[in-house]
Amino acid sequence: MALLNANRSSISFVRLAMASRFFISNSLYCTSAPFSRSASLFIQPRVNFRLKRVPSRDWSNAVPRRAFISSSISTEAFQESSASKKYGSDQIQVYEILDNAVDEAQAGFANKIEVVLLADGSVCVTDNGRGIPTDLHPVTKKSALETVLTVLHAGGKFGGESSGYNVSGGLHGVGLSVVNALSEALEVTVWRDGMEYHQRYSRGNPITALKCQNVSNNDSSGTRIRFWPDKEIFTSAIEFDHNTIAGRIRELAFLNPELRIIFRKEDSIPENSLTTEYFYAGGLVEYVKWLNSDKTPLHDVLSFRKVADGITIDIALQWCSDAYSDTMLGYANSIRTVDGGTHIEGVKASITRTLNSLAKKSKLFKEKDISLSGEHVREGLTCIVSVKVPNPEFEGQTKTRLGNPEVRKVVDQYIQEYLTEYLELHPDVLDSILSKSLNALKVTYYIKHASVAK
């Protein structure tokens, strides 16, 4: 009953609260099963979703030159990029829907997502996951689909194994209900159990009943959300930034190597429409190679994956001879934690301790009291750490920092085990890394003493 009473005013409250808290800005920008079982979901005349053929060089595993991602110190590698600067509140709407689709992929129920920026200003996101449930909700006495779209925190995202997802992202955790409340119009189509369901909404309220019909392909499943941002809230002209959204999609494709994401921007002039497919079977290894495409690596990309205590850890790292700062990117449940957190702390501590220990064993240091600092061992390092955590503890509404203390311990332990084993078996790689670190130490020493001499 409390949920029912809260729902009566939730839509208007959400529209007011979100408009004042997240979406007031002087300048708005809009800047994740086999594919065959649901291929029909992605070609629907109603939204003109048919994809143009493009040259194969523009499709799978394309590794372009860096456009928005540049190296910088620590986890702020993206923070000053053009993608981050153009991050806007209307863009959050796109990410909320996209992250829902990626959650299906992370759970193993989807392997394809399509994102379309349509010429009429709407956005359409389609996945081939399980499809949002449509059964009667026991509390609201409405369909589960309508409940998810109109009641805050009604989705089964968090809570580990007791929820619908072991791990999930979601930029703000507000989900479909807030996107719906902030949309002038929203259309949802669900394919599930051999049926197609369709319903339309306006500013958070259903304007049609839930309609259903049989589909010819009983194996089809998935969800499509198409929405038009509300001009009463987004009073400035809305223009979704293609490059910024493409940057986020590329991240998600790197982080989820079994996921294929097609991104399309329609134009009133068909020749100006853009279609790009993102698929990186190499995952984080390809991500590091992409980031280091204009550098000189000291060795092949090192990578490992470990599942421990319910936490999944993916690490890829590489030192480069012509880089003099580090690039460390952290992700938790596919959400980029630009302010770092316990996973980044675990990486830094483990790398520093492990390399110092191996340096002493190798007798590279003649002086017993010499010790490499974290700054020295990370010079020239590009490292990406992605963790999947059942119950993430984020700091801040936008989830910029991971706070789970258990993550640091697990990351620290297994990086040490992996690096120790690998570098002892590959002494040439160890020597090249330690030589660069020692040179960094010497430079610091000379600069310090030169300033003292003055």
The string of pLDDT tens digits covering residues 44-83 is 333 332 323 333 333 333 333 222 222 333 333 333 344 4
pLDDT at residue 395, rounded to an integer: 85
Domains of the chain: 2-52+64-278 (3.30.565.10), 284-453 (3.30.230.10)
* pLDDT score, position 153: 63
More confident call, 37 vs 133? 133
Q: Has residue 337 got a pLDDT over 80?
A: yes
Q: How far out from the chain centre does Cα 22 lie?
A: 20
* Per-residue pLDDT at 59: 34
Q: Reply yes or no on whether the pLDDT at 118 is more than 80.
A: yes
- The amino acid that residue 380 corresponds to is G
User: What is the distance between the terminal CA atoms of the chain, rounded to a whole angstrom?
Assistant: 76
Cα distance between residue 184 and residue 82, in whole Å:
29
Question: Contact at 8 Å (CB) between 18 and 178?
Answer: yes
Give residue 410's pLDDT: 97
User: 220-229, 267-276, 359-368 — which is least confidently predicted?
Assistant: 359-368
**What is the structure's pLDDT at 79?**
39
User: CA 426, 313, 108, 64 torsion: positive or negative?
Assistant: negative
Give the pLDDT of residue 418: 98
Task: Return the sign of the alpha-carbon dihedral for residues 361, 362, 365, 371.
Answer: negative
pLDDT at 16: 53
The CA distance from 322 to 320, in Å, is: 6
Torsion region of 26: left, alpha or beta (phi above 0 gives left; psi -120 to 50 gives alpha): alpha
Q: What is the pLDDT of residue 77?
A: 39
More confident position, 170 or 329: 329
> Which whole number is the average pLDDT over 19-48?
36
pLDDT reported for residue 175:
80
Mean pLDDT computed over 270-288: 96
Q: Which of 1-5, 52-56, 243-247 has the weakest average pLDDT?
A: 52-56
Which one is predicted more confidently, 402 or 219? Answer: 402
Q: Which of 36-45, 151-160, 227-236, 426-435 has the highest mean pLDDT?
A: 426-435
The answer to whether 351 and 378 are in contact (CB under 8 A) is yes
Average pLDDT over residues 323-334: 95
pLDDT at 146: 94
Q: pLDDT band for position 5 (50/70/90)?
A: very low
Share of the chain above pLDDT 90, in %: 59
Q: Any idea which of 123-127, 163-167, 181-185, 397-401 has the lowest mean pLDDT? A: 163-167
C-beta separation of 162 from 144 below 8 A: no
DSSP 124-174: EEEE-SS----SBPTTTSSBHHHHHHHSTT-SS-SSGGGSS-SS---SSS-
Asked if pLDDT for residue 248 goes beyond 80, the answer is yes
pLDDT at 216: 83
Residue 4 pLDDT greater than 50, yes or no? no
- pLDDT at residue 225, rounded to an integer: 97
Among 39-43, 99-103, 397-401, 423-427, where is mean pLDDT lowest? 39-43
Q: What is the pTM of this model?
A: 0.79
pLDDT at 351: 98
Q: Tell me the per-residue pLDDT of 71-116, one tens digit each, with 9 for 90 and over.
A: 333 333 333 344 444 445 557 789 989 999 999 999 999 999 999 9
Mean residue pLDDT of the chain comes to 80
Give 11's pLDDT tier (boundaries 50, 70, 90). Answer: low
237-251, 337-351, 386-400: least confident range = 386-400
Half-sphere exposure (Cβ direction) of 229: Cα atoms closer than 13 Å: 27
Residue 321 has pLDDT above 50, yes or no: yes
Which pLDDT does position 152 carry in this prediction?
80
